Amino acid sequence: MAVWRVARRMLFPTVDFAIFFLIVFSGSWLLRPHRVSWRLFILASSIYFYGYWDWRLVPLLLGTVVVNWAFGLAVHRALGPDATKTPASRALVAAAVVVDLAVLGYFKYAGFFVDSVAERLHSLGFHLGDPTLSIVLPIGISFFTFQAISYVIDIGRGVWTRPVPLLDFAVYLTFFAHLVAGPIVRASEFIPQLDSVPDPRFVRSSEAFALIFRGLFKKVVISSYMATVADPVFNLPGQHSRWAVLWGIWAYAIQIYADFSGYTDIAIGLALLLGIRFPQNFDAPYRSLSFQEFWRRWHMTLSRWLRDYLYIPLGGNRGGDGFVYRNLMLTMVIGGLWHGANWTFVVWGFIQGSALVGERIIKKWWATRTPLGLPTWLVHVLQWFVTFQVVCLAWVFFRAPNFSDATEVLGRLFHGGGGSSLVTPLLMFTVVAMLASQFVPRRIPDRLTEGFGRLAPVAQMAALGLGLVLVDALGPAGIAPFIYFRF
Amino acid sequence: MSFLRSLLVPRRGRRSRPGTLPAGLVLAVGLGALLVSTVVNANATLRDSQAKRNNPAWRTDVAANVADVSNALGLTEPRTVIDDAMGRHGSNLTAEQVLAGQRAAQAAARRRAGHGTTPLTAASSVPHLRTPTPADPLKLWVGGDSVTETFGTQLVRVSTGTGLFRSTLDFHVGTGLVVPSYFNWPVHLATDVLTKVDPDVVVIMFGTNDGQNIQLANDTILTAFTPEWQTEYANRVGAVMDLLKSPTNNRIVMWAGPPPMGPTTRTHGMDLISHIDWLEARSRPWVHYVDTWVYFSDANLQFQHSLPAATGELRGLRQADNIHLSDIGGTWLSWIVLRDLGRYVDLSASKLQPDPDDLPSPTRKERAVVPPHVPGAI
């Protein structure tokens, strides 16, 4: 049973957020030369942004800040000469990780387990009331917890030679642009930018505006439209033909990409307007020719987090093939569980892990064989096709509410007759166009952005304004929360 | 002057830092873009604002003033053109007007067929539906606001599973009968549902978004839940019920009242709306009122997130927002609707029987009288 609840929403594509950001933008640039004032202003703005969702959760966010900062300080003091690890520093890092994961686990998984236990006890005649009412999943908890963990571990590893001031750490962890759905920014990427005061005469506006507009279009227009096809297919697979189910699965693949990468684009653009650069989070993932490449392009900041703080500590590539395969599989399954307490996420992680392992095995085996002599372009097309379809297969489990629904969706692919009004030329065009957009060379959007930057500001204003009109007109009434807000 | 001039000058000069602007100009561009989109989108923003449940009045007032100015200056034309091209324009036709149009069209059709002006059926007759079979299923249409999403999804699943229905779900988030300019249900029902689907069974649920002021065509505001508001809302409910009546009396309307809302939802007055629905349904034999409230509340008619099923198993009926139904709650209400429908149609050929866990406790009974106020309800 879902325990996620949102009291009020300050989503990026809303008037409320636009007003909030205009105030933050003005205040930020006015206060930027003043070290402490600017930090306090940004911290207060971020807390207001988070509290707008639910004020009761602000203490949790601030508690995470204080506890992890204190752990960082303690770990740093426990390090040996030249920042070498000591038993005490290791124990403190482990304690910090345990505390963070315990809090994350409580909010994210306790509802699921309490519900299960309550239902089991009820069937045995014990009545516990209604336990689900008391647990609300704090929005963004997975993201800020992962960032906090990476900070403490990095100090323990000696990546950070000094603990940062509490105020800097608080600004880093709570910064509103990445607070609720990433990207997962590391302290080493963010905190140095706090000290290098950017020049207010040179705000990277055209890149930022392009990112924000692109993100809005992907979220409000593309993701919303794809949902009108994917939702009915996944809600009632038995009502749709195999043709509709197939397009519904592809539509969901586009929906989740447009939704999440759209959010990330907006987040990166907003931060850029404030003079902060975030790492890239998506790089045309559906153009990938292999699963390894897919994970280098999809949710890149989570991929590298899992690599650096899970896969490598598990042993990484240092060992025999079986050892490496085990680590890959564990990393992906745990990555699946990170999304929530549901077997469907485990299966999703298992499919991704199996694909990564299978790909390595096949590559190794293929290297010993004589090439078939197929043209390179054909090999690439086949590789792309297989990669995309397996990714879509995994999305079925990611999207379906439970295992049986996922199997029903897949079953319809093999014995679902009849036509469907869901599959329209517009849907097919949009899916194909979104996939084709993944192959557009980066220089083309870059040139468009440069061209926009050369316009007179009043022309930029008109272009952006009309762009917003178009987004609003093409999108549905009301904005659904971003999919990744649940995680 | 230099600031204004800098707004008009192309930025080709910034070769060392292309794509940059001073922060002040960035603010001006951002504000200007928002201003452009605000005035061009003014009518759409007003529609959205009017439709939002619990939206503070001042927001709608601001949106209305901006729309007035924008319309006077003709600035909303580009958006209107796009909306018209996409068939998205709202309509201010009232349910009564749509109903009058429908009646006129039906009368004309009867005259053309040589039946004069005599009504085909007396208003007091219960509709007669054929007995469905898997080879000849009934057409079931389920629609309403966002609460209907999970309920309708489950009803389509369950009803299709019986083999006796070909079912369609048609919900629209944030809609109801109070703000037709946002989504006009009477027009949608008349032009899309009755004409294109022509269902044998209509299952419909409104109310969650209707606890707000009504603005009449003459700009009179009826404050939510006042006696005047109740009269107007009852007229709208009644008109939609009349609209859904089949001229050949072979359509049943299962009108589900809204369920009770949780204490933190700020969604008030569902008891009064249930009362109005029940009252209007009483005088219309083609409408069956489904007393949703009793199946989602305890013995004291108070909201409950979970309730014991017929087997005693505790079932979570609501989503965590305490407004929408969970999948289990949707299935629960679906079987109640089908059970009630069985009073009018022979469903004995059903291939699917309910799991006792999906049925409410047999002690729960629909009320003989649905009162306007349930003590303790929000």
Angstroms from B210 CA to nearest CA on chain A: 17
Is there a single domain that holds both residue B31 and residue B142? Answer: no
Q: In this structure, are strands B287-290 and B252-256 parallel, antiparallel, or unpaired?
A: parallel
Q: Which of A150-154, A313-317, B89-93 has the lowest mean pLDDT?
A: B89-93
C-alpha to C-alpha distance for B193 and B170, rounded to whole angstroms: 9
Q: CB within 8 A of A67, min separation 6: which ones?
A: A96, A99
Residue A250 has pLDDT above 80, yes or no: yes
**Residues B112 and B171 grouped into a single domain:** yes
Tens of pLDDT along A259-318? 999 999 999 999 999 999 999 999 999 999 999 999 999 999 999 999 999 999 998 888
Report the domain count for chain B.
Answer: 2
Q: Do B29 and A119 touch (CB under 8 A)?
A: no
Identify all chain B residues contacting A272, using CB atoms and an 8 Å cutoff. none
Residue A104 phi, psi dihedral angles, 5° rounding:
-60, -45
Candidates A469, A474, A485, partner chain B, best to mutate (most B CBs within 10 A)? A469
**What are residue B360's DSSP bridge partners?**
B309
- Report the pLDDT value the prediction gives residue B263, as an integer from 0 to 100: 81
pLDDT of residue A131: 47
Structure confidence at residue B47 as a pLDDT band (50, 70, 90): confident
Confidence of residue A123 (pLDDT cuts 50, 70, 90): low
- Omega before B259 cis (within 30°)? no
Q: Which of A178-182, B8-12, B42-46, B132-136 has the lowest mean pLDDT?
A: B8-12
| Same domain? B149 vs B189 | yes
Task: Please tell me which residue of chain B has the smallest CA distance to A460.
Answer: B29
Model confidence at A253: pLDDT above 90: yes
> Are B132 and B72 in the same domain?
no
A211 or B6, greater pLDDT: A211
Q: State whether A1 and B173 contact (CB < 8 Å).
A: no
The 10 Å Cβ neighbour count of residue B351 is: 9
C-alpha–C-alpha distance, residues B211 and B213, integer Å? 7
With an 8 Å Cβ cutoff, are A477 and B314 in contact? no
Tokens standing for residue A307: 């690599």
Residue in A76, A122, A339, A380 annotated catalytic: A339
Is the distance from CB of A279 to CB of A147 less than 8 angstroms?
A: no
B83 and A473 Cβ atoms separated by less than 8 Å: yes
Contact check, Cβ <8 Å, B174/A26: no
How large is the average pLDDT for residues A143-168?
Answer: 90
At residue A3, the pLDDT reads 34
- Give the separation between CA A264 and CA A258, rounded to whole angstroms: 10
Could you say which of A29, A203, A465 has the minimum Cβ distance to residue B33?
A465
Q: Give the confidence band of A340 by pLDDT, cuts at 50, 70, 90.
A: confident
Answer yes or no: are the C-beta atoms of A395 and A256 closer than 8 Å.
yes
Distance CA(B262)–CA(A176), nearest Å, equals 30
Q: Give the predicted TM-score (pTM) of the model.
A: 0.77
- Identify the DSSP state of B151: H
Dist CA B279 CA A174 (whole Å): 53
**What does the alpha-carbon distance between residue A473 and residue A180 come to, in Å, rounded to a whole number?**
27
A339 assigned to active site: yes
One domain for residues B108 and B75: no
Tell me which of A272 and B221 has the higher pLDDT. A272
Higher pLDDT, A109 or A93: A93
Q: What's the confidence (pLDDT) of residue B119?
A: 47
Amino acid, single-letter form, for residue B231: T
Chain B residue numbers with beta carbons less than 8 Å from the beta carbon of A464 are 29-30, 32-33, 36
Distance from CA of A455 to the nearest CA of B (A): 5
Same domain, B81 and B113: no
Same-domain pairing of B173 and B280: yes
* Cα-based distances in Å from B357 to A18, A226, B41, B316, B360: 47, 34, 49, 11, 8
Considering only residues B94 and A291, tell me which one the structure prediction assigns the higher pLDDT: A291
Q: How many helices (H) and strands (E) does chain B have?
A: 12, 9
* pLDDT for the residue numbered A304: 93
Q: Per-residue pLDDT tens for A94-106?
A: 999 999 999 988 8
Residue-level pLDDT at A162: 79
**Pairwise CA distance, residues B178 & B207, whole Å:** 9
Selecting from B32, B33, B37 the residue whose C-beta is nearest the C-beta of A472 gives B37
Q: What residues of chain B lie within 8 A of the CB of A478, using their CB?
A: 48, 173-174
Q: For the range A279-282, what are the long-range contacts, defined as Cβ-Cβ under 8 Å and sequence gap of 24 or more? A: A279/A183, A279/A185, A279/A186, A279/A189, A280/A183, A281/A182, A281/A183, A282/A257
pLDDT higher at A428 or B265: A428
Residue of A3, A200, A466 with shortest CB distance to B23: A200
> Does any domain span residue B347?
yes
The pLDDT value recorded for residue B155 is: 94
* Tokens 């409580």 sit on residue: A106
As a whole number, mean pLDDT of residues A177-190 equals: 88
Minimum mean pLDDT range among A370-379, A472-481, B366-375:
A472-481
Specify the pLDDT at position A132: 47
Are B329 and B267 found together in one domain?
Answer: yes
Residue A375 pLDDT greater than 80, yes or no: yes
Quick check: is B33 in a domain?
Answer: yes
Cα dist. B265→A6, B322, B323, B332 in Å?
11, 7, 7, 22
Identify from A239, A274, A449, A450 which residue to disrupt to test chain B contact, counting B C-beta atoms within 10 A and taking the largest count: A239
Q: Do A273 and B37 touch (CB under 8 A)?
A: no
Classify residue A344 by burial, with Cβ atoms within 10 Å: 0-12, 13-18, 19+. Answer: buried
First to last CA, chain A: 15
Find the mean pLDDT for residues B157-163. Answer: 92
In terms of domains, do B81 and B223 share one?
no
Rounded Cα distance between A164 and A195, Å, is 11
- Which residues does B89 contact at the CB level (< 8 Å), separation at least 6? B80, B83
**pLDDT tier, B64 (very low <50, low <70, confident <90, very high otherwise):** confident
Residue B367 lies in a domain: no
* Nearest-by-CA chain B residue for A201: B22
Higher pLDDT, B267 or B288: B288
| Confidence bin at B93 (pLDDT 50/70/90) | low
Give the model's confidence band at B122: pLDDT under 50 very low, under 70 low, under 90 confident, else very high: very low
Q: What is the pLDDT of residue B32?
A: 93
B146/B251 same-domain check: yes
> Rounded distance, CA A464 to CA B32, Å?
9
Span of A141-155, B192-206, B268-282, B308-322 with lowest mean pLDDT: B308-322
Identify which of B65-79, B227-241, B303-317 has the greatest average pLDDT. B227-241
Mean pLDDT of A112-120: 68
The percent of chain A in helix, strand and coil, each rounded to the nearest 5, is 75, 0, 25
Q: B164 in a domain, yes or no?
A: yes
What are the residues whose beta carbons fall under 8 Å from the beta carbon of B243, sequence distance 6 or more?
Answer: B95, B98, B99, B102, B186, B189, B190, B194
For A105, counting Cβ atoms within 10 Å of its Cβ (0-12 exposed, 13-18 middle, 19+ buried), the class is middle
Q: What is the pLDDT of residues B3-22, one digit of tens each?
A: 777 777 776 655 667 788 89
pLDDT at A125: 65
Average pLDDT in the B310-335 region? 89
Q: Which domain holds residue B26?
A: 2-11+20-85
Q: Are B170 and B202 in contact (CB under 8 A)?
A: no
Contact B30 A136 (CB under 8 A): no
Considering chain B, what is the average pLDDT of its residues? 85
Residue pairs spanning A and B at CB distance below 8 A: 177
Averaged pLDDT for residues B60-84 = 85
- Which residue out of B84, B306, B321 would a mutagenesis test of the A interface target, given it has the greatest number of A Cβ atoms within 10 Å? B306
- Whether residue B323 is predicted with pLDDT greater than 50 in this model: the reply is yes
Q: Is B290 helix (H, G, I), strand (E, B) or coil?
A: strand
Rounded CA-CA distance B179/B174 in Å is: 10
Contacts of A459 in chain B (CB under 8 A): 10
ipTM of the complex: 0.82
Cβ–Cβ gap A2/B305 under 8 Å: no
**pLDDT band (50, 70, 90) for residue B181:** confident
Helix axis angle, A443-454 to A205-216, nearest 10°: 120
> Would you say residue B154 has pLDDT above 70?
yes
CB contact under 8 A, A453 and B18: yes
CATH number (domain holding residue B344): 3.40.50.1110
**The pLDDT of residue B52:** 66
Distance between first and last Cα of chain B: 58
pLDDT of residue B77: 87
Residue B369 lies in a domain: no
Tokens of A239: 């009502």
Q: Do B157 and A204 touch (CB under 8 A)?
A: no
- Chain B residue nearest residue A130, CA to CA: B306
Q: Model confidence over A395-449: pLDDT tens digits?
A: 999 998 888 889 989 998 887 666 566 788 999 999 999 999 999 999 999 999 9
CB contact under 8 A, B19 and A204: yes
Give the closest-approach CA distance of A160 to chain B in angstroms. Answer: 32
Greater model confidence, B183 or A153: A153
Q: Give me the percent of chain B exceeding a pLDDT of 90.
A: 40
Q: Please indicate, yes or no, whether residues B72 and B112 belong to a single structural domain of this protein.
A: no
Q: What is the mean pLDDT of residues A166-172?
A: 95
**More confident of the two residues B94 and A231:** A231
- In whole angstroms, give the CA distance from residue A377 to residue A382: 9
Instruction: Identify the pLDDT of residue B76.
Output: 87
In the structure, what pLDDT confidence band is assigned to residue B215 with cuts at 50, 70 and 90?
Answer: confident
Does some domain include residue B94? no
β-bridge mates for residue B136, sequence order: B133
What share of chain B in percent tops pLDDT 70? Answer: 90
Q: Which pLDDT band holds residue B114 (cuts at 50, 70, 90)?
A: low
> How many whole angstroms separate alpha carbon A405 and alpha carbon A396?
9
- Exposure string of A134-171, with b = 16+ CB inside 10 Å and e = fewer, is ebbbbbbbbbbbbbbbbbbbbbbbeebeebbeebbbbb
Q: Are residues B191 and B326 in the same domain?
A: yes
Which tokens belong to A368?
């010993």
> What's chain A's average pLDDT?
87
CA distance B205 to B254: 9
Residue B373 forms part of a structural domain: no
